[in-house]
Amino acid sequence: MINSKLPQVGTTIFSKMSALANQHGAINLSQGFPGFDVDDNLTTLVTKYLNEGKNQYAPMPGILELRITLANYLKRTYNCDISPEAEITITAGATQAIYNTISAVVNEGDEVILFSPAYDCYAPAIEVHGGTPVFIPLQHPDYSINWRAVKEQINPRTKMIMINSPHNPTGSLITESDLKQLKEIVSGTELLILSDEVYEHITFDGKKHESVLAYPELRKRAMVTYSFGKSLHVTGWKTGFCTGPDWLMKEFRKIHQYTVFSCNSPMQYAINEYILKHNPFEKTAEFYERKRDLFLASIKNSRFKVIPCQGTYFQLLDYSDISNMNDVEFAEKLTIENGIASIPISVFYPDLEDNKVLRFCFAKKDELLIKAGKLLCTI
Ligand SMILES: Cc1ncc(COP(=O)(O)O)c(C=O)c1O
């Protein structure tokens, strides 16, 4: 017998809804992964490096060539000087970067402020390390942050504030004004920040991503996490990276070297050459904005109400004009009876707050989005 460290955790909703979709042959817009092929140029590069024998351990923080490319990219994009040697680590996806960061900084009794609805890997990582997640609800329906509520929650036990923009599951964006308010709150304190920016390239309608890296007062205390899975449409590669000031990155790497030591070598060489030669991030926003608009056009005549999506590849739809069922039951009914799987938003809240909203992933082929839209119009 063991004492479970996460007694309340069961199978995630993502696995449950995907299994239900498979069982009933439903279109699966539940889990957040691209339903189209990866660029051949990228897979060709992986093959090249596999054949060239880049098959042994990479250096612990990742291959330096890739870290230099990333530092240059971050400098161009967010005007920040990040040391490729000391302040960037290649990770096994953003999930490992988030878990490692929490592992490095959260001690028994610490509190971490986060916002609900929250991506599902945040709170369990805090709890495993004896910390307490302190949830502050984003303000429905625009899912903005109530900074007064954040200020009120800060006390001597508060160790870190976690933010996520573009935001999964809501598609909302943190603004310049948000980051200025965050700056005011943390200035003169020892509070840390974990900023999850895995959807940095996916912002719409001319809006740009606001990164904590662009703010020196925030950057000096922030770990920032990124995912090649999201930015290069290769979620199955579980490769990403994180940045942090050298003093924090030193602690991060102490944990990293004993969790994975280093990450997949051929992928790192291939990603480096791909970024340098093909500039892949430039067109990502345009690519997904077209898909969002196609999905929205295909549900124009439905009874669902659209909650504006400013970034990510998730569209929220409010079904309160259609049914009074709770969102988990409604999502199941939609999968079983109407052939379309989504994710109920209540599962991202600690108290399962139900606003009658479902999340649909539009990182899928056009034909599938049109077919899904047709089905949604019949409800
Ligand atoms: C907000 C957010 N953070 C982190 C991750 C995990 O990224 P990775 O697949 O690189 O571990 C995801 C994946 O869906 C996500 O949506």
pLDDT at 8 over 90: no
Question: What is the CA(80)–ligand 1 centre distance, in A?
Answer: 24
For residues 227-234, average pLDDT: 96
Question: What is the CA(308)–ligand 1 centre distance, in A?
Answer: 21
Name the average pLDDT for the chain.
96
pLDDT at 140 over 90: no
CA–CA gap between residue 123 and residue 221 (Å, rounded): 20
pLDDT at 346 over 90: yes
Question: What is the CA(227)–ligand 1 centre distance, in A?
Answer: 7
| 135: nearest Cα among 349, 344, 355 | 349
Q: Is 227 in the pocket of ligand 1 (CB under 6 A)?
A: yes
Residue 106 pLDDT grade (very low, low, confident, very high; cuts 50, 70, 90): very high
Question: Which residue spans of the chain are classified as CATH 3.90.1150.10?
Answer: 13-31+283-377
Q: Specify the pLDDT at position 141.
A: 84
**CA angle, 129 as apex, 213 and 226 as ends, to 5°?**
25
Residue 13 pLDDT grade (very low, low, confident, very high; cuts 50, 70, 90): confident
**CA angle, 118 as apex, 78 and 141 as ends, to 5°?**
90
Q: Specify the pLDDT at position 226.
A: 98
Task: Name, in order, each residue with C-beta under 8 angstroms of 28's C-beta and a sequence gap of 6 or more.
Answer: 17, 18, 21, 22, 341
Residue 10 pLDDT grade (very low, low, confident, very high; cuts 50, 70, 90): confident
Residue 259 region by backbone torsions, left for phi larger than 0, else alpha for psi between -120 and 50, else beta: alpha
Q: Is 165 in the pocket of ligand 1 (CB under 6 A)?
A: no
Q: What is the pLDDT of residues 41-89, one digit of tens each?
A: 999 999 999 999 999 999 999 999 999 999 999 999 999 999 999 999 9
Task: Name, in order, each residue with C-beta under 8 angstroms of 20's C-beta and a sequence gap of 6 or more.
Answer: 26, 332, 335, 336, 341
Helix (H) or strand (E) holding 294: helix 284-298
Q: Specify the pLDDT at position 19.
A: 94
* Domain 40-278: which CATH number of 3.40.50.410, 3.40.190.80, 3.40.920.10, 3.40.640.10: 3.40.640.10
For residues 236-262, average pLDDT: 98
CA–CA gap between residue 67 and residue 275 (Å, rounded): 12
Question: Which residue spans of the chain are classified as CATH 3.40.640.10?
Answer: 40-278
| 118: nearest Cα among 186, 70, 165 | 165
Residue 216 pLDDT grade (very low, low, confident, very high; cuts 50, 70, 90): very high
* Domain 13-31+283-377: which CATH number of 3.40.1830.10, 3.40.50.620, 3.30.70.360, 3.90.1150.10: 3.90.1150.10
Ligand 1, atom 13: closest residue by C-alpha = 32
pLDDT at 194 over 90: yes
pLDDT at 31 over 90: no
Q: Specify the pLDDT at position 240.
A: 98
Question: What is the CA(240)–ligand 1 centre distance, in A?
Answer: 9
Q: Specify the pLDDT at position 12.
A: 83
Q: Specify the pLDDT at position 32.
A: 87
Q: Is 168 in the pocket of ligand 1 (CB under 6 A)?
A: yes
Q: Is 358 in the pocket of ligand 1 (CB under 6 A)?
A: no
